[in-house]
Amino acid sequence: MHYFITALVVIIILLIILILLSYFSFVSLFKRKKNDAAQRKKIASKIKKNGTENPEEFIQKADDFFKEIRYKKTTIYAVDESTLYGRLYTPEKGDAQKTVLLVHSADASASTDFYSLFDFYRSGNFNILLIHQRAHGKSEGAYKTLGIAEGYDVLSWCQWLEMRFSTGSPIIIHGKGQGTFAAVFASSMSELPANVSAVIAENIYNSVDDAVQKIFKNKFDFLSKIILPFVRIFYKNSVGFDMRSVRISAEAKRIKIPTLFINKNNEYLSSETLEKIIKRIKADAKEISPKNIKEEAKAIKEFIRL
């Protein structure tokens, strides 16, 4: 009996440790950073991981670049009534005939993610809307969802752009990481405005669950399979979605918008799954793997027929 009680206590203690580990892993991955300094630190860490030697210098350079350009502060309400913030840049001369919505990745900012491509779109005489995704920057939201809630946010932004610039003005959505998942998910929705004419999708993953599995596998190895079920529960209870509820491979059959997939050492999606997604899209869809930003800009220009 004594051994049974001891074993039971040990099991309970291990279970508590496991639940706590799962909870803190969930918070680390999904909860909004406490303040601007913490958010900036996370952005710097991500930029450094992507190969930039001096991330703080890069962030400052991007911030300074965008401060010099006039923009209009823009806000909308998401379907859950969160206030979402964006910066709208219009051409210095004349009126633009098209608009690009730039959707940044998780734990990043529009300034750092699109610094290298901003001049490309600006020279193409676009209206440019850089948004702060929920739980980032000046947008509200306690949690990011890695693309599910953000997909509905992208839909809301597109509907706002349609009202702002008329139904005849083409809209292009360019996403990165979480922003890509949100953009492609939004493009599968029947409520999307008809003037959304193309999606540029950089480094997509098939589902939030797949992405989290990969992240946890790299971080916890064999423990990841034990932690994941608890994280799914915390996610569902906190943001109201199931991490497995949206799979791009399933949504693809509803997509009727030309989509350019940009692959930059994407470790979250197999080539076989991407090929399946491309085949299911009922519009022009292709994949490219550019070696540099110049190649990427050229491919985008040809795809959207600038």
**Domain coverage including residue 190:** 51-207+246-303
- Let me know: does 210 contact 170? Beta carbons within 8 Å: no
Contacting residues for 300 by C-beta, under 8 A, at least 6 apart: 120, 174, 200, 260, 306
Model pLDDT for residues 51-90, shown as the tens digit of each residue: 777 888 888 899 889 888 999 999 999 999 999 999 999 9
Same domain assignment for residues 3 and 106? no
CA dist., res. 237 & res. 20, Å (int): 16
* 41 found inside a domain: no
* 62 found inside a domain: yes
Model pLDDT for residues 141-163, shown as the tens digit of each residue: 999 999 999 999 999 999 999 99
Of all helices (H) and strands (E), which one includes residue 127? Answer: strand 126-132
Model pLDDT for residues 26-60, shown as the tens digit of each residue: 999 999 987 777 778 888 887 877 777 788 888 88
Model pLDDT for residues 269-293, shown as the tens digit of each residue: 999 999 999 999 999 999 999 999 9
Quote the pLDDT of residue 266: 86
Q: Which residue has the tokens 């508590």?
A: 16
Please compute Rg for the chain using Cα positions: 20
- Let me know: does 134 contact 78? Beta carbons within 8 Å: yes
Same domain assignment for residues 182 and 157? yes
For residue 168, is pLDDT > 70?
Answer: yes
Report the first-to-last Cα separation within the chain, whole angstroms: 77
Same domain assignment for residues 20 and 147? no
Same domain assignment for residues 228 and 299? no
- Considering 34-38, 40-44, 122-126, 231-235, the range whose residues carry the highest mean pLDDT is 231-235
Final residue of a structural domain among 219, 241, 263: 241
Same domain assignment for residues 111 and 198? yes
Final residue of a structural domain among 241, 264, 295: 241
Same domain assignment for residues 167 and 221? no
* 85 found inside a domain: yes
For residue 129, the SS3 value is: strand
Same domain assignment for residues 154 and 257? yes
Average pLDDT over every residue of 174-179? 96
Q: Which of 258, 105, 253, 103 is nearest to 188 (CA)?
A: 253
Alpha helices of 106-147 — where are they, by DSSP H? 110-123
* 35 found inside a domain: no
The CATH number of the domain holding residue 293 is 3.40.50.1820
Quote the pLDDT of residue 153: 98
Same domain assignment for residues 174 and 225? no
For residue 94, the SS3 value is: coil
Average pLDDT, the chain: 92
* 37 found inside a domain: no
* 36 found inside a domain: no
Domains identified in the chain, total number: 2
Same domain assignment for residues 146 and 265? yes
* 132 found inside a domain: yes
* 43 found inside a domain: no
**How many other C-beta atoms are found inside a 10 Å radius of the C-beta of residue 88?**
18
- Model pTM? 0.93
Same domain assignment for residues 200 and 217? no
Model pLDDT for residues 259-269, shown as the tens digit of each residue: 999 998 888 99
Quote the pLDDT of residue 306: 63
CA dist., res. 203 & res. 58, Å (int): 21
For residue 7, is pLDDT > 90?
Answer: no
Same domain assignment for residues 202 and 146? yes
Quote the pLDDT of residue 93: 78
Final residue of a structural domain among 241, 258, 285: 241
Quote the pLDDT of residue 1: 64
Same domain assignment for residues 59 and 143? yes
